Chain A
Amino acid sequence: MAFLDDGLNMNLLTELQKVELYTVKDGKVAVCSAENKGSEITHGTICVKIFVQSVKVKVYIISIEILDSKKRCSADKLVAALQWVCQMGIKIINLSLGTSFFQDEMILRRCVNQLAGEGHIIVAAQNNNSFVTYPATFTNVIGVSASPQNQDILLNTEYKFDGIELLGKSEHEIEIQGNKIVTQHASSFATPYITAIVSNLYQDGQNVWEMKNKLCLLCGIGHLELRKFDWCSRAVIIQSRSFSCEDRCFCFEVHQKYFFDEIEWKAEEIKDIFTQKTADTLIIAGKCEKVNDWIKKEGISIPYTLMIRDDIRTISKIFCLERTYMIFHQDFRKLFIDRAFENLDIPIIIIYYDNKKEIVRSVVRANHEFADNGYHCKIFMDSAAGVLYGFESCGEAFRIKDYIEFNFVDLIIILIDMNNKIQELDGDLNLRYGVSKDFELNLLPNMEYRNIYEYIEEQL
C-alpha cells in the first residue's frame, strides 16, 4: 500500500521491516536518497504510525514523498505519483492531503477515475474546515474527515455535496522514541485509520465502490447512493430518438451510442463492452423503465448507470437501483424560496435560451474563460442533460448558500428554456439567448451574438 505524503523518518519507524521510499523529481518518481532525518516527526511518519497500529493484515508500505517542508505541493506532482502507483499495481493509497482549488479539480478527477477503473482504492482526507476538497470529494474516492467525538468510524450524513462518506478516529496515542503523544483532531490522522480498516477488509479484485459498501455495512447501512455525476471516463449512451444533446461538449468520452429501438439486436455488443471493461458507465437518456427491464433480463453487469429524463420526478424509489444516479428536469423555484438568492454575496446570472445546443456550446466556452481569469463559475441547467456537460444539479436536500460557501464559487449561471420560463426567477443579471414569444423576455439583453464571458464581466 502507498502513502503519498512528506516522506518517512525511518529512525522513528524501527518497527517496520520492509519499506520502500520514493520521491517525485521533475515529474518522475525516483528512489529517495537515504537521508538522515534525525528526530524530525514528519506528517507521513505520524500517518504510518497510526496505520501500523490499526492494521491487522500483513502489508508492504511504499512511501512517496510529494509534499515539501511546508507540507505543500502542486496537483501535477500528486498526479505523477498516482500514475506511478497505478503502473506499479499498488492497490490501496492513503492521501492525508488534498486541495480545494477549483482549477485542480479536472486533472485530479481524470486521474482518480483512471485509477478506480483499474481497481485501485484511494482513501483521502477532507480539508479541516469542511470545504469541498479534491480528491476526497470524488465518488471514486473514499473521502474521510475526523469524527467529532473521536468515534472509531461513522457514516457522514450531513452534507450531500462534499462527497465525504466517512468520519474516522483521528486522536490516536502513538509512541515516538519512547514518548507517548496524542495526534491532533484532524482529517489527516483519521485517514490512515480508515485506510487500515480498508486494508483489513480488502480482498483481491475489489474495487472502490465494493469497498465503500463493505464500510457501509460496518456502519450498519445497506448501501451508498450516488450523489453526483463525477465518476465517468467512458460511457455507452442508450437514448430515445427524441433526446437531443450537444455531443461535442460532453465531460467524458463516448464509446458508443444506441437508440432504444436498437438494443434488442445489439445486446451481445453492449454486453461485450461492459464485460471487457471498455466503458465504465451506461447513460440512459429518456424514459428508462423498458431499458432497465432489458438490462435485468440480459444480466448485463454495469459499473455505474446514469439515468437522465426531462420530465418531473415520477419514478418511485423502487427504481433507485444500486450504482445508479438519476437526474430529472431541474426545478429551480425551490432555490428561490425565501428569496435565498438575495442573501448571497455572489452574482446570479439567469440566461433564458431557445436553442439548447447553442447555449451549451457558448456557456461551456464562457466557463473556460471564467476559469482562465481566476473565477470559479458554476452552471445549472433546467434540462437533465446539463450534467453531461459538467453542469451542476441540485438534489432534494440542496442548500445553495452552503454549496457556494464550501465550493468557493464566484458566480452562478442558471440556464432556463424560455418556453418553460418560470415567472418568479429573477437574478442579478437576466439575459436572453435567442428570440422569445414572450414580450417581457425580449426586453432582456440578447447574448446570442456576443461573448458571454466578456459581457458578464463588463456588466458586473
Chain B
Amino acid sequence: MKKQLKKKVQATSKQHVMAHCRCVCGCSLNNNLNASYGKVNYNYI
C-alpha cells in the first residue's frame, strides 16, 4: 500500500519551548501541592 505524506496543520503559535515538569495544566503546581501528575500534554503543531 502506498504511504501518504500526512497533511500538516500549520503552527499557530511559536511557543514550543516548555518546562519539563509533568504538570498537566501548566499551573497546578501553584495551588495544589498534592496534584496528581499525568503525561505531558505534548502538542507541537
Please list the residues of chain A having a beta carbon within 8 angstroms of any beta carbon in chain B: 5-6, 40-43, 46, 66-78, 96-101, 103-104, 125-129, 131, 133, 179, 181, 184-189, 191, 344-348, 373-375, 408, 410-411, 428, 456-457, 460
| A125 to B11 alpha-carbon distance, docked (Å) | 23
Give the residues in chain B near A345, CB-CB below 8 Å: 3
Asked whether, in the complex, the Cβ of B20 is within 8 Å of the Cβ of A126, the reply is yes
Give the residues in chain B near A96, CB-CB below 8 Å: 19-21
Least distance between A75 CB and chain B CB atoms (Å): 6
Asked whether, in the complex, the Cβ of A43 is within 8 Å of the Cβ of B21, the reply is yes
Give the residues in chain A near B19, CB-CB below 8 Å: 5-6, 43, 67, 71-72, 96-97, 188
Q: Main SS of chain A's interface residues?
A: loop
- The 21 listed contacts between A and B (C-beta, < 8 Å) are A46-B21, A70-B15, A71-B19, A72-B26, A75-B17, A97-B17, A97-B19, A99-B17, A100-B42, A101-B11, A128-B20, A129-B39, A129-B42, A131-B42, A181-B33, A186-B21, A348-B3, A374-B9, A374-B10, A410-B8, A457-B5
Give the residues in chain A near B22, CB-CB below 8 Å: 128, 184-186
Least distance between A327 CB and chain B CB atoms (Å): 29
Least distance between A15 CB and chain B CB atoms (Å): 19
Asked whether, in the complex, the Cβ of A73 is within 8 Å of the Cβ of B15, the reply is yes
With A101-B44, A129-B40 already in contact, the answer to whether A74 and B16 are too (CB < 8 A) is yes
Q: Which residue on chain B has the smallest CB distance to residue A73?
A: B17
The 9 closest A-B pairs by CB, nearest first: A374-B8, A101-B16, A71-B19, A460-B5, A72-B15, A125-B20, A99-B16, A74-B14, A188-B20
Mark contacts of B16-45 with chain A using CB atoms, 8 A cut-off: 1 yes-contact digit, 0 otherwise: 111111110011011001000101101011
Asked whether, in the complex, the Cβ of B27 is within 8 Å of the Cβ of A411, the reply is no
With A41-B30, A74-B16, A99-B16 already in contact, the answer to whether A428 and B23 are too (CB < 8 A) is no
Q: Which residue on chain A has the smallest CB distance to residue B33?
A: A181
| A258 to B10 alpha-carbon distance, docked (Å) | 44
Pick from B20, B37, B44 the residue with the most CB of A within 10 Å: B20
Least distance between A457 CB and chain B CB atoms (Å): 6
| A119 to B6 alpha-carbon distance, docked (Å) | 42
Task: Kindly identify which residue among B3, B42, B45 contacts A374, using a CB–CB cutoff of 8 Å.
Answer: B45
Known: A347-B3, A347-B4. 4 other contacts (CB 8 A): A101-B11, A128-B22, A188-B20, A344-B3
Q: Which residue on chain B has the smallest CB distance to residue A189?
A: B21
Please list the residues of chain B having a beta carbon within 8 angstroms of any beta carbon in chain A: 2-6, 8-11, 14-23, 26-27, 29-30, 33, 37, 39-40, 42, 44-45
Asked whether, in the complex, the Cβ of B20 is within 8 Å of the Cβ of A70, the reply is no
Asked whether, in the complex, the Cβ of A346 is within 8 Å of the Cβ of B3, the reply is yes
Asked whether, in the complex, the Cβ of B18 is within 8 Å of the Cβ of A72, the reply is yes
| A173 to B44 alpha-carbon distance, docked (Å) | 32
Asked whether, in the complex, the Cβ of B33 is within 8 Å of the Cβ of A71, the reply is no
Give the residues in chain B near A133, CB-CB below 8 Å: 20
Asked whether, in the complex, the Cβ of A460 is within 8 Å of the Cβ of B4, the reply is yes
Q: Which residue on chain B has the smallest CB distance to residue A133?
A: B20
| A184 to B36 alpha-carbon distance, docked (Å) | 10
Least distance between B12 CB and chain A CB atoms (Å): 11
| A109 to B32 alpha-carbon distance, docked (Å) | 37
Asked whether, in the complex, the Cβ of B5 is within 8 Å of the Cβ of A375, the reply is yes
| A247 to B16 alpha-carbon distance, docked (Å) | 32
Least distance between A241 CB and chain B CB atoms (Å): 41
Least distance between B1 CB and chain A CB atoms (Å): 9
| A344 to B18 alpha-carbon distance, docked (Å) | 29
| A230 to B35 alpha-carbon distance, docked (Å) | 39
Give the residues in chain B near A104, CB-CB below 8 Å: 16-17
Asked whether, in the complex, the Cβ of B39 is within 8 Å of the Cβ of A74, the reply is no
With A100-B42, A101-B44, A374-B45 already in contact, the answer to whether A460 and B27 are too (CB < 8 A) is no
Q: Which residue on chain B has the smallest CB distance to residue A66?
A: B17
Give the residues in chain B near A126, CB-CB below 8 Å: 20
Pick from B11, B22, B45 the residue with the most CB of A within 10 Å: B22
With A72-B17, A74-B15, A187-B20 already in contact, the answer to whether A411 and B8 are too (CB < 8 A) is no
| A186 to B18 alpha-carbon distance, docked (Å) | 13
| A99 to B20 alpha-carbon distance, docked (Å) | 9
| A99 to B17 alpha-carbon distance, docked (Å) | 4
| A129 to B37 alpha-carbon distance, docked (Å) | 14
Give the residues in chain A near B11, CB-CB below 8 Å: 101, 103, 374
